[in-house]
C-alpha cells in the first residue's frame, strides 16, 4: 500500500510517544524561528498537524514530517500534539519529506544544501537525470542546479563546512573555479588566516579571471544598472512637492538579512532571496510558481 492510498487517522498524541526520524534531511533548526513558532502555538495552538507513522509494538509513533512543529510544541510546554497517523513505506519516506518542503508557502523549507543532498539521494534512484527531473515535474536543468551543492569537491566542501564561505551559490561557483584552475583556489585560501572567511571581492575577481559566470542578471537588475549608469542628468525631474517620510528607511542590506532570516536562507544569495519572496507571494495569492 502506498502513502497516497494508505488510510489516515487524525488524533492528539502524547509528545512522549513520538520519536524523530534520524534520517530526515533537515539538520538545521533556527532557535529564533522555533521560539516564534512556540509562541504562536502557546497562543493559538498548532494550526497544521504533524504526520507520524502508526504506533509500533511499544506504542511509539515515528515522526514523518513536522519536526520543527514538534520541537516548538515541546518548547511551548504542550503535552499533546495534533497529528495525522499515516503509514508510509521506507522507500517513500524521503520523497514525502522532500515534497512536503517544496513550494509550501510560508513554511520554512529545507536549507539549500540540505535540499540538494535530499534531491540527489532521490535522483540517484533513477536511470537518468531527465527521468528524475520529470519525477519532480521539472526540467533536467532545474535538478542539476538544485543538486549542484551536493556534488562539491572535497576542497570546496571543506570551505563550506568550516564557514569560510557561507553561500551555497558561491560554493558551486568556486567548485567550477577549482575544476578550471585548482591552483587559483588554493592561492585564494593560502592568503587567509585559518578561521578567516574568503572575501567576496576576491572570489568575484578569481571567477572573472577564469571566465566562470556568476549567473545571468535578472531584468530588474539590468534596469537598475542602466539607471545607475545614466547618472543624475538622465533621472526624471522630481515633483515640485516632496514630502519626506518621518521614518528613516532601513538600509537595503539590513532588510535583506531580515527577510533571509525569516525565510531561513542565506542572505548573501540575493537572487535566491528574491526568488523565494516571489514564491511566497504567489503561494499567498494561490498561484503556482512557474518551473525554473
In this prediction, residue 79 carries a pLDDT of 96
Q: Which three cell numbers stand for residue 208?
A: 572573472
pLDDT exceeds cutoff 80 at 195: no
In this prediction, residue 284 carries a pLDDT of 59
Phi and psi for 256 in degrees, rounded to 5?
-60, -40
- Name the average pLDDT for the chain: 78
CA distance 220 to 205: 24
Contact residues for 141 (Cβ-Cβ < 8 A; gap 6+): 292
Q: Which three cell numbers stand for residue 116?
A: 540538494
Q: Which three cell numbers stand for residue 135?
A: 519525477
| Mean pLDDT to the nearest integer, 158-165 | 85
pLDDT exceeds cutoff 50 at 186: yes
pLDDT exceeds cutoff 50 at 40: yes
- Percentage with pLDDT > 90 across the chain: 27
Q: For 213-256, what is each residue's pLDDT tens digit? A: 665 443 443 343 333 333 344 444 444 444 444 444 445 566 77
Of the candidates 59, 61, 54, 58, the one whose C-alpha atom is nearest the C-alpha of residue 86 is 54
Q: For 91-145, what is each residue's pLDDT tens digit? A: 898 888 888 777 554 456 678 888 899 999 999 999 999 999 888 878 999 999 9
In this prediction, residue 266 carries a pLDDT of 64
- Percentage with pLDDT > 70 across the chain: 72
- CB crowding 179-217: b at 16 or more within 10 Å, else e: eeeeebbeebeeeeeeeeebeeeebeebbeeeebeeeee
Higher pLDDT, 235 or 160: 160
Question: How confident is residue 2, by pLDDT bands cut at 50, 70 and 90?
Answer: confident
> SS3 breakdown of the chain: % helix, strand, coil, rounded to 5?
50, 10, 40
Is residue 222 a contact partner of residue 290, using CB atoms and an 8 Å limit?
A: no
The angle that helices 252-263 and 270-284 make with each other, rounded to 10 degrees, is: 60
In this prediction, residue 271 carries a pLDDT of 67
- Residue 45's CB: how many other CB atoms inside 10 A? 12
Give CA 13 to chain center in angstroms: 29
pLDDT exceeds cutoff 50 at 280: yes
H or E element, residue 18: strand 18-19
In this structure, what DSSP letter does residue 163 have? Answer: T
H or E element, residue 96: helix 90-99
| Mean pLDDT to the nearest integer, 153-170 | 86
The pTM of the full predicted model, rounded to 2 decimals, is 0.50
Is residue 290 a contact partner of residue 279, using CB atoms and an 8 Å limit?
A: no
Amino acid at each position: 500500500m502506498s502513502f497516497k492510498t494508505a488510510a489516515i487517522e487524525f488524533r492528539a498524541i502524547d509528545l512522549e510517544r513520538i520519536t524523530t526520524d534520524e534520517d530526515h534531511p533537515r539538520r538545521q533548526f533556527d532557535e529564533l524561528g522555533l521560539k516564534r513558532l512556540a509562541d504562536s502555538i502557546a497562543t493559538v495552538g498548532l494550526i497544521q498537524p504533524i504526520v507520524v507513522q502508526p504506533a509500533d509494538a511499544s506504542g511509539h509513533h515515528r515522526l514523518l514530517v513536522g519536526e520543527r512543529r514538534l520541537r516548538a510544541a515541546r518548547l511551548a510546554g504542550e503535552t499533546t500534539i495534533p497529528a495525522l497517523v499515516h503509514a508510509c513505506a521506507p522507500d517513500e519516506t524521503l520523497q514525502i519529506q522532500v515534497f512536503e518542503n517544496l513550494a509550501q508557502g510560508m513554511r520554512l523549507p529545507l536549507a539549500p544544501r540540505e535540499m540538494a543532498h535530499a534531491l540527489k539521494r532521490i535522483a540517484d534512484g533513477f536511470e537518468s537525470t531527465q527521468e528524475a527531473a520529470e519525477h519532480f515535474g521539472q526540467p533536467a536543468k532545474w535538478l542539476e542546479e538544485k543538486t549542484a551543492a551536493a556534488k562539491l569537491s572535497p576542497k570546496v566542501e571543506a570551505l563550506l563546512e568550516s564557514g569560510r564561505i557561507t553561500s551555497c551559490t558561491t560554493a558551486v561557483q568556486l567548485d567550477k573555479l577549482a575544476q578550471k584552475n585548482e591552483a587559483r583556489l588554493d592561492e585564494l585560501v593560502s592568503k587567509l588566516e585559518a578561521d578567516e572567511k574568503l572575501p567576496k571581492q576576491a572570489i568575484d575577481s578569481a571567477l572573472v579571471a577564469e571566465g566562470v559566470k556568476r549567473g545571468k542578471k535578472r531584468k530588474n537588475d539590468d534596469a537598475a544598472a542602466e539607471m545607475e549608469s545614466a547618472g543624475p542628468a538622465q533621472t526624471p525631474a522630481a515633483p515640485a512637492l516632496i514630502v519626506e517620510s518621518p521614518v528613516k528607511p532601513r538600509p537595503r542590506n539590513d532588510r535583506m538579512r531580515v527577510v533571509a532570516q525569516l525565510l531561513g536562507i542565506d542572505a548573501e544569495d540575493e537572487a535566491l532571496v528574491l526568488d523565494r519572496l516571489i514564491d511566497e507571494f504567489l503561494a499567498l495569492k494561490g498561484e503556482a510558481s512557474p518551473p525554473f
